[in-house]
Amino acid sequence: MAKNIEKYLNAEKVDISEWKKIASAALKDQNLEDLNKEIDKGLSIKPLYTSEDEEEDYSYSLRRGLKPNVNNYMPWYICTTIDHNNDSKILNGRILGELERGSNSIEISFFEINTLDKILNNVDLSIAPVFIRNINYSKENLSNYIDFLKSNKNKNVLGGFEIDPFASDLWLDEFSANKEINEKINFEELKILQEEVNADFKNINLINFDGSLWNDLGANTSEEIELLALSFMKMYENNKNKNEDEFLINITLSANTDFFTSISKIRASRIIFNNIFKHYDLNCSLNITSRSSSNILFKEDPWVNQLRITTAALASAIGGSNKIICNNITHKLGQAPDFIKRLTRNTHIILQEESRISRVQDPSGGSFYIEKLTNDIAQNAWKNIKIKENNGGIIPLIESKDFVESLKNSRNEFKNKILEKKLIKVGENSYKDPDSNPINVKPFESNDI
């Protein structure tokens, strides 16, 4: 036995030319170079990696997100999005129903002024975080949320009002049907307000750097991380709280059906942000939310969307997200019926309770393919961050017509690939189900975005 192990550990190098002959013979109408694939600008993968591709020791990298204590029973928050209803009692019933059936975190999109006490009636906010994600929020909405917090005697409440001060207006300009964009506070005011809130409520965040908005706008894998990093750097470049109590930084990343890339993107984001924390001498911890990308959901044959959502959720779990949001399969159609809500919720529950992913701290660690891809994404993003920061950072970038146009071109290119069937989407442009099985949905309330 010992001799066999020794032989394995000291095996001679394989002659790669033999593999190339066998692979080339099996490809028929293709050659080996055709198997090299560009997955994004500046990022590519290939079918075989050798010792020549080794660049560093990946063993102790911050990319792995290792923690001394891991909750095996709740490794991430199951965050359910609640379809809005103008009736506070109905909205409250929907929230309580989700929490009773397995969700442990809630996201709502809108609330009327002075209704939060009714909407969140009987919700223990110290156990179940509630997040408000109204991209077209108003100053009045935000002020009312803070007043609600101040009226709450429990200082251990969880959740937040998720505002991306840099991506939201650009997103609204491109996608909002309601062209009346509410007046918002600027990023400097938001930072001051965040510090004031944290003086009483340390677990409440008003700032969330949201990569899923950038993904909707057309940002690719590397760009998504770059834009989040540049946004954070602008927000905290003159931070006065250096080396004081640790504070939490919330980011959201989009997850799609490119399974290994989604895993690697989460891991690469940890490298980037830890480098930035060190550069600015900030005592921060990174909280990562994964949201299934809107680009993987289609109106045609929505049942196939469940496969896409499950793939994205699994990648998010393996990557080590702190909170995962799975959009319902009817996200592009309207409000989810109860059985669709259950289907979405059970996707989380099966991953948490039956797959045992949480029993391993870094399930993808040691896979050279993922380690290499993680490293490539991080290096590509870091190179571009330095270039963009030298050109002024996030503000001149988002004000640039060329940048906005590049995002739009990226979106159009994605749509054209689907139309031309260069990108196969089952149920949408290929392998359509001949037996139509539509899902009856109600339209979203007018305040939903």
Strands 130-132 and 247-255, by their bridges, are unpaired
* pLDDT of res. 312: 97
CA neighbor of 381 nearest in space, from 209, 230, 211 = 230
pTM score: 0.93
Task: Round to whole Å and give the CA distance between 308 and 354.
Answer: 19
Contacts of 400 (CB under 8 A, 6+ apart): none
Q: Could you tell me if 163 and 146 are in contact, meaning their C-beta atoms sit under 8 angstroms apart?
A: no
Domain residue ranges of the chain, discontinuous segments joined by +: 72-380
pLDDT digits (tens, 9 = 90+) for 246-270: 789 999 999 999 999 999 999 999 9
What is the residue-wise DSSP string for 97-156?
Answer: HHHHTT--EEEE----TT-HHHHTTT--TTTS-EEE--TT--HHHHHHHHHHHHT-S-TT
Q: Could you tell me if 79 and 159 are in contact, meaning their C-beta atoms sit under 8 angstroms apart?
A: no
Task: Round to whole Å and give the CA distance between 298 and 300.
Answer: 6
Q: Could you tell me if 257 and 290 are in contact, meaning their C-beta atoms sit under 8 angstroms apart?
A: no
Q: Options 1.10.3720.10, 3.20.20.240, 3.40.50.1980, 3.40.190.10; which CATH number does 72-380 get? A: 3.20.20.240
Query: What are the residue ranges in the chain where pLDDT is below 70?
Result: 1-4, 7-11, 56-61, 179, 240-245, 446-449
* pLDDT of res. 244: 62
Task: Round to whole Å and give the CA distance between 349 and 310.
Answer: 11
What is the residue-wise DSSP string for 215-263?
Answer: HHHT--HHHHHHHHHHHHHHHHTT-S-TTSS-EEEEEEEEE-S-HHHHH
Q: Could you tell me if 377 and 222 are in contact, meaning their C-beta atoms sit under 8 angstroms apart?
A: yes
